[in-house]
Amino acid sequence: MATYEKLIPISRPAIGREELDEIGKVFNTHWLGMGAWVMKFEEQVKKFIGANYVIAVNTGTTAVHLALDSIGVKQGDEVIVPSLTFVGSVQAIMVTGANPVFCDVQEDTLNIDVNDIRKKITSKTKAIIPVHYGGLSCDMDRILEIAQAKKIRVVEDAAHAFGSSYKGKKIGSFGDITCFSFDPIKNITCGEGGAVITNDAKLTQTLIKKRILGIDKDTWSRYKHKRDWFYNVTTLGYRYHMSNINAAIGLVQLKKINNFIKRKKQIVRIYDNEFQKIDKIKILSRDYENTAPFSYVVKICKDRDRLMKFLKNKGIDSGVNYIPNHLQPFFKSQKVSLPITEKVWHQILSLPLYSEMSNDDVNYVVRSVKEFF
């Protein structure tokens, strides 16, 4: 990378002294597990989104599994999910014993194809998992309409979309169930973490119990009351709760989310303005107003892999998000044909996008891509 002084990664968390200081406060209490910071984080996420209930968990994948398990998805059921997504959502389906039914995507957005959802629904369909690819919301009105007519639950995989909106409403503030991820590269990070969002009070009680081994009161709640040693196990559950350490990071990140979004939108606009001038690059359809961008993905009509190698030699990281799940060895037995997914995955390329990218970094990426073509 002789032409630039540093490696530019695809993504990077914007973390610093403030997050460390908040973690220090947790250390001083000696209460590192789920406690006051987790509860405060849930309240702040609830306030930011405008939802009724927020259940913080330890990863985005466990959020999806917890949601599916809590609505009763079980052996023999079917769950519709786009193949072009991170394998975490699909593995969450598998853990319940249900079968993933892979769905195609729209060519211009890479979001789930609603028409293909209709074709994939059977008497065994228990849930639909739309994935808000790159932070752009799926067509939720149509998806929810289909689901309600068929009495199917909708579990939104909003791992990419914290801070995004749909028709002016924050993702997570409407609909059925929404799952977020707060891993190191998401729109905000907790180090690791996730959340299940819902407006369903009854479901919330199930989620809360299942989050911590089916116990009716968590350790922090018991500690604050008499008979702090006593608890009841009332259902099957998991060790999925968030820790105070992770929540402390998230609380500081929440204060910065609007600045993160603003900066990433600036970068996306620069990229789009420059790359639309190159014939061999196709720009995805974007909604600048409602989207909190997670990633910057373009379609390269020819020589994508050669471009990736060229950029690597320039000190610029790039990637492919994602290899379709139905083409993976573990899921190949399904033998499903998804023509758009199978076409676009050979074209898609993720370029660097993170809020601390300098203008010099952005301009260097643009210059390097132009140089290749």
Respond yes or no: is residue 282 known to be catalytic.
no
DSSP collapsed to 3 states, 239-284? ECECCHHHHHHHHHHHHHHHHHHHHHHHHHHHHHHHHCCCCCEEEC
The pair of structure tokens assigned to 179 is 């799952």
What is the rounded CA–CA span in Å between residue 63 and residue 144? 20
What is the rounded CA–CA span in Å between residue 353 and residue 294? 8
Task: Beginning with the edge strand found earlier in the chain, give each strand of the sheet holding 296-300 in spatial order.
Answer: 281-283, 296-300, 348-351
The pair of structure tokens assigned to 256 is 């910065």
**Strand ranges, E, within the chain:** 53-57, 78-82, 99-103, 125-128, 153-157, 165-166, 169-170, 177-181, 194-198, 281-283, 296-300, 348-351
Catalytic residue among 124, 151, 170, 186: 186
**Residue labelled with tokens 């540093």:** 6
Catalytic site residues?
A: 186
